[in-house]
Structure 1
């Protein structure tokens, strides 16, 4: 694959992946979305497969069904004291467990994320630029699919301790940039039901 020099250097930077599966699944009547079986495979495993070749380590944030996630090979991280604090709490847990320079968080219901997500996010700015990176699909920024520097842990913890839960607000605090993925307009589709998956696959093939 051809790319700019920054993209090639990005491959040498260490990165941990984090699948965010700690949500309540309220739009599904409380179903644990990461375990939703879609065409024979739980969504969390589909996301893990997309990230497998892109990350140097893979973590999972979850607050229930922990034994079921362990049976799938994960060692789930919980939100600890930050109960019901949303994805920011899961990201804090990931940053706390992260031993690499960067953390790439991806929601568990986003099984079409690009296979070059790591390279394009890291390659979007010079190597010494520590701003967070957020995909932009041509219409929306996907803030929960975010590349964060490991140094963001302090800012995330401080925000949660202050009762702040906004991921966008945290990104504004630490600095971030949008990265153009407009050519991959279906890649960041959030799937809530098998019907959503069928619709997304149909759109991709059209």
Structure 2
């Protein structure tokens, strides 16, 4: 893996997880490990600094020994609010964003996202599974902070609508479909844990 220098990373763990009875997904155990630990393992080889975006159970996330940042507002405004919080904190030109609930993420796939963004000189690179984009897997230029601030200030929340304002690309990761297996319900958690055995 040719790691780029100057990459910040954020793991999004700030949602309410309504479909999971409002459990804190990053802390839910998957095969006896908190789900966020899989995200940490995947992202740390490819970034120079890492943040965890969380809006509750802050002390538990702090025990993972990475800076924990919360959304600017406390209205659980969705993934873009977590991205904006990370853009306010990051020191590097590129921010890599991933969710906390996809235990099969790989460093190789994340590196591909970073490499393709750099190769195309795109503002944003978004993971694509061959059929649809997965916007919470993205690499973005930190210089987009003002654009995102303005977008959120207008009351907007939709990620893809914000993408359209910029030069963005899809990165085809369909060769590794398990990369996108995310856990939104307790049923999915049980199913994936069974498959892993």
Asked if TM exceeds 0.5, the reply is yes
Q: Contact (CA 8 Å) 1:143, 1:168: kept in 2 or not?
A: yes
| From 38, 59, 66, the counterpart of 1:67 | 59
- 1:178 has 2:170 as partner: yes
**Aligned alpha-carbon RMSD (Å):** 2.1
The gaps in structure 2 that reach 5 residues or longer are none
User: In the alignment, what sits opposite 2:97?
Assistant: 105
In structure 2, distance between residues paired with 1:204 and 1:178: 29
| From 98, 118, 121, the counterpart of 1:129 | 121
User: In the alignment, what sits opposite 1:4?
Assistant: none
- The secondary structure found in structure 1 opposite 2:107 is coil
- The secondary structure found in structure 2 opposite 1:173 is coil
- 1:162 has 2:160 as partner: no
- The secondary structure found in structure 2 opposite 1:186 is helix
User: In the alignment, what sits opposite 1:94?
Assistant: 86
In structure 2, distance between residues paired with 1:91 and 1:125: 17
User: In the alignment, what sits opposite 1:34?
Assistant: 26
Q: CA deviation at 1:115?
A: 1.9
Aligned residues: 197
Q: Contact (CA 8 Å) 1:82, 1:89: kept in 2 or not?
A: no
In structure 1, distance between residues paired with 2:176 and 2:48: 24
Q: Contact (CA 8 Å) 1:33, 1:108: kept in 2 or not?
A: yes
In structure 2, distance between residues paired with 1:12 and 1:69: 27
TM-score (norm 2): 0.91
User: In the alignment, what sits opposite 1:5?
Assistant: none
Name the structure with the higher strand share.
Answer: 2
In structure 1, distance between residues paired with 2:190 and 2:133: 23
The gaps in structure 1 that reach 5 residues or longer are 2-7
